[in-house]
Structures are given as C-alpha cells and as structure tokens.
C-alpha cells in the first residue's frame, strides 16, 4: 500500500467537491492512500450532506457573492475564503478504515497539531464533545464557531484551528479537512507545515509518501459529477 501525494489544484466549489468524491469512488489505484491540498477559484462555502439549505443560507455573508456547494461528507458550514483545504482517502483494508469516526478524526488531527507545534505554533486537540445550550450533543452547524471532539484548537483562547468531515463507503474513507489560516500566525510557513503534516500522517498510517501525478480518469465522468454538484437538486433538496 502506497501513500499518493497528488499535485495541488485550484477549482470552483462544485469541481472541488466532485474531485474529492472521484478520489474516493473512482481512483484507479484503489488500494492506495491518496491526499491532495487544493484552493478555490472564487470565495466559497461548503456545507454538510445532511444540512438544510435554509439554515445554510442564513450563515452566508450578507452582500457578498460566494459559491455554495453541498459536500459528500457530513459536518457543518465551512468558510473557504481563507482556509487551507485538503482531502484524504484511506482505502478499505487499511486499519484506519475500520476504526470509529472519532478515532480516525483524532489520528489525522493529532498529526496536524504536532506539525504546528514543530513550527512553534501552539496547537492541541479539543478533548470534549461540543454541546448545545441544553447540554445535549450539538448537531452540525457552523464548523468554526464551536470546537468538536478532537478538533485542533489554540490552547491560548480555545479558537478552532482545524476541523473536518468524513464519509465512509465500501471503497474507503473520505476525509475533507479545513484549516483556518486567520487563527494561526501570519508568518507561518505553509510549505513547511505541509511537509511536517504529511510526514507525520504517513508515519501514523504506516506508509511511505510518494509524489504522484493525477490519475488518467474519465473527464466525462468528472464533468457529469461537477454538473450534478452544481444543480439545485443536489444543493437544495435534502
């Protein structure tokens, strides 16, 4: 089993979500772990698969035109205007595929926190589940307003640095993560962070990272999925 590090790409919200889903469902080397970091053509927000569009629209910035797309994973509303976004797919058959969602969340976020600390950026894991005002576990809302169990947070003020959402299918585990650039030092070396994060992630997963070109998959299939992720049927009716 190898750890494929794919080239960075920049795309619109629907294409980014479609590409992540293709990495889960249609990757030719389905037995290998794959990772990508990516950017956004325009200001964008994504939201969890089960969230209601009426709630989501109420969280968007007034008077600003943004792209909006439902993710194939769960979680809350995520602002991608100033984040560091990534996707990780762990194939079925790897031990991390079979652990509970909270444990896979902890594994990945521990690597992020360690990579930050190595660059003198304070970061720890949040050790308590989020709760609603009535004391019950909170449902998906706005991702960076309240820290969830094993999110990466600042120990100084408790602000959330990194969060993620997951989807598990027969093909593997898709992990879509977001890191808030504005919460960490403006002088942070993001290339050094990427290197440190991936070295720790590879060690945690027991694999060797390898820079890998994009797969030669069907452009028609990707285009069809981008079109699907752009429709009202996908984004509004849940």
Give the span between the Cα atoms of 113 and 109, in whole angstroms.
Answer: 6
| pLDDT at residue 168 in the model | 96
| pLDDT at residue 128 in the model | 76
Give the span between the Cα atoms of 157 and 126, in whole angstroms.
Answer: 12
Chain segment 79-135, per-residue pLDDT in tens: 999 999 999 999 999 999 999 999 999 999 999 999 999 999 999 999 876 554 444
| pLDDT at residue 200 in the model | 98
Instruction: Measure Cα distances from 207 to 32, 96, 154 in Å.
Output: 10, 12, 29
| pLDDT at residue 143 in the model | 54
Considering only CA atoms, which of 8, 48, 177 is closest in space to residue 108?
Answer: 177
Six-digit token string for 66: 């943004």
Question: What is the CATH architecture of 3-233?
Answer: 2-Layer Sandwich (3.30)
Exposure class string for 138-174: b at 16+ Cβ within 10 A, else e: eebbbbbebbbbbbbbbeeeeebbbbbbbbbeebbbb
Number of H helices, E strands in the chain: 7, 12
> CB–CB of 140/48 below 8 Å?
yes
Contacts of 188 (CB under 8 A, 6+ apart): 119, 121, 181
| pLDDT at residue 68 in the model | 96
| pLDDT at residue 39 in the model | 97
- Report pTM: 0.92
Contacts of 123 (CB under 8 A, 6+ apart): 112, 113, 116, 117, 152, 153, 154, 155, 161, 162, 184
> CB–CB of 74/165 below 8 Å?
yes
What are the extents of the domains in the chain? 3-233
Contacts of 57 (CB under 8 A, 6+ apart): 68
Q: Which residues of the chain have pLDDT under 70?
A: 129-145, 238
DSSP code, position 138: P
């Amino acid at each position: 089993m190898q750890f494929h590090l794919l080239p960075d790409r920049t795309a619109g919200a629907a294409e980014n979500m479609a590409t992540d889903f293709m990495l889960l469902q249609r990757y030719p080397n389905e037995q290998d772990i794959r990772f990508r970091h990516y950017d956004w053509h325009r200001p964008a927000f994504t939201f969890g698969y089960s969230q209601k569009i009426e709630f989501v629209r109420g969280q968007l910035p007034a008077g600003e035109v943004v792209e909006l797309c439902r993710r194939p994973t769960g979680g809350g509303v995520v602002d991608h205007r100033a984040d560091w976004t990534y996707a990780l797919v762990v194939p079925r058959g790897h031990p991390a595929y079979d652990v509970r969602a909270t444990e896979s969340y902890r594994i990945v976020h521990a690597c992020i926190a360690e990579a930050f600390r190595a660059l003198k950026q304070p970061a720890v894991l949040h050790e308590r589940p989020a709760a609603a005002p009535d004391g019950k576990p909170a449902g998906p809302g706005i991702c960076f307003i309240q820290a969830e169990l094993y999110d990466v947070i600042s120990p100084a003020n408790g602000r959330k640095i990194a969060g993620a959402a997951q989807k598990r299918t027969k093909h593997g585990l898709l992990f879509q993560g977001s890191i808030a650039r504005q919460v960490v030092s403006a002088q942070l070396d993001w290339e050094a962070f990427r290197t440190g994060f991936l070295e720790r992630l590879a060690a945690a997963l027991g694999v060797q990272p390898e820079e890998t070109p994009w797969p030669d998959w069907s452009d028609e299939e990707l285009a069809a999925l981008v079109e699907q992720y752009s429709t009202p049927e996908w984004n509004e009716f849940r």
